[in-house]
Structures are given as structure tokens and as C-alpha cells.
Amino acid sequence: MFVVLIVFLLLGTYIMSFFGISLPGIRIASGLIILRAAYAMLNPDHSERKISEEAQEAAKEKEDISFSPMAMPMLSGPGSIAVVIGLASQAEGLMDLVFISLAIILVAGISYGVLRLAPFSARYIGPTGMNAITRMMGFIAMAIGVQFILNGIGTFFGV
């Protein structure tokens, strides 16, 4: 997570320029992806996310699945990449980039702590509590996705 976000902090604006992608475009695309994930959280029974048997077997064979195509987008996916690129594009100097890097380190540390405590809290909360929390977080994620889209549209039209 840390490495991916730092790479986009330092090179994101150049990558966007190379492909001709504007910041509003990144925000709208990120919002749509977040909306899709949030919808799956709100409606787990109708979710189209099915992991193939081949991918499940490969995950079982790994000692540590934290660095895999399934785990990385959750921690450093389109939403966080869009935020980092947006912050980098507004940075006025080296100190701004240092502060953004420190924020990334802080968020990575907090994420690590939360993920380390997840098995214990899941046992304490239980399946019903986890379902309720997943739906609440799905609603919050949906609101974030909509806001990303609105910010992208607003920036595009200069509002």
C-alpha cells in the first residue's frame, strides 16, 4: 500500500499526462469504481463478485495473501490513488510532498493495526454484527463515491 501510493504521489501527474487523463476524469472513474464496490457491500446476496476456484486454490497455497491482486486494490485502489494524485497536483513544494508522505505512512500504520485486530473483533462482533457494519460502511462508501463523481464533474465544468 505504502509503495503504491508513494509511486503515485511522485509520478502520478506524469502518468496522467502521458495517457492524457485529467484529474476530473480520475475522480469520476474512481467514484464509479467505489460505487460498484459499495453496491456490492449493500447487497451481498446479489454481488457479482465471484472468485474463481483457481484463484481460491492459489490463495490457499500462499503463506501470506496480503500482497495479491485481491488485497492491494482494497488498500491502495482507485479512490486512494485519486486522492494522492489530487494532493500531489496541489502541492506547492517539497514540504507539501513530505507531509503527504507522512500522512500515507500514518494511514498505512493505522491500516496495519486495524487488519491485525480484525480476527479478534470479528469473533467478538459475530456474523450479524459484521453484516450490519458491512452495510453501514457500504452506505458510507457509496456516499464517498458519489462525492468523488460530483467533485470530478464540478472540477471539469469549473464549478
1-36 residue pLDDT tens: 899 999 999 998 888 889 998 888 888 888 898 898
Q: What would the mean pLDDT of 45-49 be, rounded to a whole number?
A: 59
In a domain, 147, yes or no: yes
The three cell numbers locating residue 107: 494511514
In a domain, 82, yes or no: yes
Query: Looking at residue 66, what is its pLDDT?
Result: 52
Domain count along the chain: 1
Q: What would the mean pLDDT of 148-154 be, rounded to a whole number?
A: 90
In a domain, 50, yes or no: no
In a domain, 113, yes or no: yes
For helices 78-90 and 23-42, give the axis angle rounded to 10 degrees. 150
pLDDT confidence bin for 37, thresholds 50/70/90: confident
In a domain, 9, yes or no: yes
The three cell numbers locating residue 156: 471539469
Q: What percent of the chain has pLDDT over 90?
A: 29
CA–CA–CA angle 21, 25, 71 (5° rounding): 90
In a domain, 64, yes or no: no
Is the per-residue pLDDT at 70 higher than 60? no
Helices (H), the chain: 2-19, 23-42, 53-61, 72-75, 78-90, 94-156
Residue with cell 497536483: 89
In a domain, 57, yes or no: no
In a domain, 58, yes or no: no
Q: Which domain holds residue 14?
A: 2-43+74-156
